[in-house]
Structure 1
């Protein structure tokens, strides 16, 4: 694994300034970029550690605080370990933040993230990869469909609400996607019931998108997050294998 450097960075957006974490190989060279979308719990040590691991595989990784309009990370105070009992109280605070991040705002921000990466001396020329977790999976899919000329790969893990019946459902961008996609669904995830999984698969297949959707048997929503009670080490390693394979093929 390559030695990495990680730093806090600020990114100008159309609506202000977003704080973010940037991880990259410590060789000072330009590497392919990966935009890393956080879960609802936000930019914290767990996500920085994941970004570092991804950077160690040879990528320049940007993890923006997508809730920056409400403050710098941590926007909501979190315990060191998030168990099932603490989730309801945390989501009382997170719910309004998630609702305020409309698709229009999220994609206005995505343009800022992608432009910042394109201007960075640490990023190699060419398209980027995107990965997202929980709510970030929807952002990854939407970014791939909104910026098809810039995104070559997008992955989502234990994502929720990817293919709803609503008029702004993320799966509706399928016809605009040119990237290769991968989704690792959590088993029996209330945020992505079987009918949504089927709707997502049908939309991607119908649009001719190169993709693979897999259900991780026995894994709970949030299975990649080691600072939560949902963490599943075996499913997490499977996720790394799938993600790194996707990036190797496309970047």
Structure 2
């Protein structure tokens, strides 16, 4: 599968990005993949290539582009438990600077770019997020219900809060089918119930499940949180969702 380094024009500059796609000269359904807090790196490229192997054009933007091209901070090949807190401390100002306003402005640019790529087929796209990317993906799907047919999120950062713009308050705007895969420590039972109630009330076709025995970050093979069994389960759920929404499968 080929990959391509790209520059996406945005209102605030140009976001560097990675694209992965089948090498067959055909057009394929588009997938916008939002990174976890550790950013655009080889582990994300591997995930994009896996999806491309199943027949999708996958765009992975560096959402921290305002602070420089990826990798925005220096990362080790493996992010172990002992160094994770120090890395998160470096990243926290970037995470906090990525406001809802910036998320929505960037989402407009990313979707416009993705849907006009020559390798992307007409029709709806999917949005996927990991960690902080789930928040971003949900906001993107809620802001673009006419374009986003599938929304998937894994080991999310908090989705339920008292804030007026808490992600769970946006689900009434969704038209996408949704799958959320949670680690055991991602959300309290009360928050899960509140999110589920919001999705049910909005009539959103969704699944929300806890992946047993997992910790936050379980899909990422370059971290101590990685769980191979849970990652396989994540691929099963994700590919099923994409097949039902983008590929015409039942």
Please report the TM-score for the alignment, with normalisation by the length of structure 1. Answer: 0.97
Are 2:143 and 1:146 equivalent residues in the alignment?
yes
Of 169, 183, 188, which residue of structure 1 is paired with 2:185? 188
Are 2:71 and 1:78 equivalent residues in the alignment?
no
Are 2:194 and 1:202 equivalent residues in the alignment?
no
In the aligned structure 1, how far is the partner of 2:60 from the partner of 2:159? 21
Match of 1:226 in 2: 221
Match of 1:173 in 2: 170
In the aligned structure 2, how far is the partner of 1:172 from the partner of 1:91? 27
SS across alignment from 1:78: coil
Which digits, 9 at most, give the CA deviation of each residue in 1:162-207, with x for residues without a partner?
A: 1112112111111110010000000123xx2222211111110111
Which digits, 9 at most, give the CA deviation of each residue in 1:143-173, with x for residues without a partner?
A: 1111001100000000021111211211111
In the aligned structure 2, how far is the partner of 1:160 from the partner of 1:130? 16
Match of 2:20 in 1: 23
In the aligned structure 2, how far is the partner of 1:109 from the partner of 1:163? 22
The equivalences for 1:28-39 within 5 A come to 28-39=25-36
Of 117, 128, 137, which residue of structure 1 is paired with 2:125? 128
Q: Note the C-alpha offset of 1:76.
A: 1.0
Match of 1:42 in 2: 39
| Alignment gaps of 5+ in structure 1 | none
Match of 1:243 in 2: 238
**Structure 1 ranges of 4+ moved more than 6 A:** none
